[in-house]
Structures are given as C-alpha cells and as structure tokens.
C-alpha cells in the first residue's frame, strides 16, 4: 500500500493545498477528503492518479477546506456518468450530517440531468460511530473524534499482521479515540505549527496542536510511524526540516512531514 498526500495545509493556506490524501493498493484507491475546491483535480492529475479511479471516498467533516473538493468530484462523476464516459459505480462515506449536506448541495449545484445518478450509481452512505466497512479489502472502522466544533469522524484501517493505520481527522486526539490510535503502526495527526511559534499561530484557540504536542502524543500511545499534516504554510520552504527537528525531540519512532504530492510507502 501507499499513501499519496494531495494536500498538507490547513484551511487558509496559499502555498500548498488543503489536507487530503489517497490510500492505494494497486489499482484500488481510497480518497479521504477533497480540499477546498477544484484544485483537487489538479492534485490528482499531478500525483499520477486518475480521478475516475477514486471509487471510494470518505469525507471527515463539513468544513469547506475538506468538503468543497468533494462537490467537484461529484460533479465530474455524475457528468461523465451522464455522458457515458464513466463506467461502474462510486461510493462516498461520511457521517449523517455530511451526507445530508452533500445531498443538499448536489440538489442546488448539479445539473438536474445529473441528479438521477445519485444513489443509483453514486452512492452516498452515512456511517455511524464504530461502524465497520471493508475498504481496499481491509476492515475499516469509522469513529467520532469527539470534536467540539463540527461533528467529525476519523477511521482506523487494519493493514494485516496486527498492523493498523489510524486517521484522527484534523483536530487534536481525544481519549475517546484511544482504542483506535493506541499502538497504531501509522498515526495521521494534525500539527498546526511549531511549538515555538504557538504565540504567532495560536493553534489552541483554533482547536489544533503543535508539532511537540503531536509528537508527545504519539510517543505516549506507542505509535510506530507518525505523519503530520494540516499545517500552516508560512514555513513552507523549511517546514519538513523544522517540523522534523522539533518532533524528533519528543517522538522516537519514524516521523513523516510530507509535502504536497509526496508518496509514502506503508
């Protein structure tokens, strides 16, 4: 399996794209979030990924930097279904509030002749806290991260051999996630900024973490590989270097601070 970061930034970045990514196993793909607009199509193209092959999609929550790219994916899918240039079906998973919002936006924004493909070939499926699905041939459990802002779900995918990948969404870890995050082979966690720049970026006011916070968390949970995303972009030229240096002071596993379009072998 491999992970392709389509975007690595927070909601207001201009030097990179908003955080979203694709998990791939051969020709099977699992797309997580879509960023804030049609740039998701650009990112997929330049990552060497065919948007038509994004047949399974998960939307973590309703914030525009995660949701609006999905509207473009829905438009492309339904339009090409109507034109006869998209074969088969596709599925979008999310919690009930996001599914309801996607339905509402589709009804308002997509062409009427494209709407019949919703639920007939493009399936919008609400998942509950703790619900399991088989994705990329692996048991995947969706869970509520306990956000106090907008209802948000993460997921935990069993990789085989006792290994697992856990995505905690874009907010700091909560104890309700422990059964999924603890002893993860891969933990995907947000890190809004360097701890030394917290006074500049105010992560806690925005319900986010610093690199130090995320690194200490991963160390305490016995994580093997920690991947940091959803960052500020003012340090973009040296982000990997600076974030890695700070994180390694507190986390002794493998630390990844990817750039947009970077591919990581799992």
What CATH number corresponds to the domain at position 180? 3.60.15.10
Confidence band for 148, pLDDT divided at 50, 70 and 90: confident
Tell me the mean pLDDT in the region 83-106. Answer: 98
Cβ neighbours for 34, distance < 8 A, ≥ 6 positions apart: 20, 40, 57, 59, 66, 67, 68, 69, 70, 71, 72, 73
C-beta atoms surrounding 222 within 10 Å? 12
Tell me the mean pLDDT in the region 26-48. Answer: 98
Distance CA 162, CA 83 (A): 44
- What is the domain count for the chain? 1
Q: What is the pLDDT of residues 212-253, one digit of tens each?
A: 999 999 999 999 999 999 999 999 999 999 999 999 999 999
Confidence band for 162, pLDDT divided at 50, 70 and 90: very high
Q: Please say if the pLDDT value at position 38 is more than 90.
A: yes
Domain of 209 in residue numbering reads as 2-265
Q: What is the pLDDT of residues 103-115, one digit of tens each?
A: 999 999 999 999 9
Q: Residue 107 has which token pair?
A: 């009804």
Q: Please say if the pLDDT value at position 51 is more than 90.
A: yes
Mean pLDDT value across the chain: 98
Q: What pLDDT is stored for residue 92 in this prediction?
A: 98
**Any idea which residue has 């099977």 for tokens?**
28
Q: What pLDDT is stored for residue 165 in this prediction?
A: 98
Task: Using a pLDDT cut of 70, give the percent of the chain over it.
Answer: 100
């Amino acid at each position: 399996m491999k992970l392709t970061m389509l975007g690595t930034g927070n909601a207001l970045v201009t030097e990179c794209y908003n955080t979203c990514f694709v998990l791939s196993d051969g020709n099977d793909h699992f797309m997580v979030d879509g960023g804030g607009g049609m740039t998701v199509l650009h990112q997929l193209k330049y990552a060497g990924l065919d948007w038509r092959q994004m047949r399974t999609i998960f939307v973590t929550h309703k914030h525009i930097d995660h949701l609006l790219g999905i509207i473009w994916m829905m438009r492309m899918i339904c339009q090409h279904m109507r034109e006869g240039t998209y074969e088969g079906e596709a599925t979008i998973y999310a919690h009930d509030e996001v599914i309801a919002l996607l339905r509402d936006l589709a009804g308002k924004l997509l062409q009427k002749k494209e709407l019949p493909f919703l639920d007939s070939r493009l399936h919008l499926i609400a998942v509950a806290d703790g619900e399991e699905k088989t994705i990329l041939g692996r048991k995947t459990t969706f869970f509520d991260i306990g956000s106090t802002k907008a209802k948000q779900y993460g997921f935990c995918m069993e990789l085989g051999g006792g290994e697992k990948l856990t995505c905690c969404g874009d907010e700091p870890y909560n104890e309700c996630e422990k059964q999924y995050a603890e002893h993860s082979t891969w933990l995907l966690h947000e890190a809004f900024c360097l701890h030394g720049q917290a006074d500049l970026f105010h992560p806690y006011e925005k319900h986010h973490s610093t690199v130090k916070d995320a690194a200490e968390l991963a160390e305490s949970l016995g994580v093997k590989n920690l991947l940091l995303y959803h960052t500020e972009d003012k340090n973009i030229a040296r982000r990997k270097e600076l974030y890695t240096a700070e994180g390694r002071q507190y986390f002794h596993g493998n630390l990844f601070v990817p750039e947009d379009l970077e591919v990581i072998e799992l």
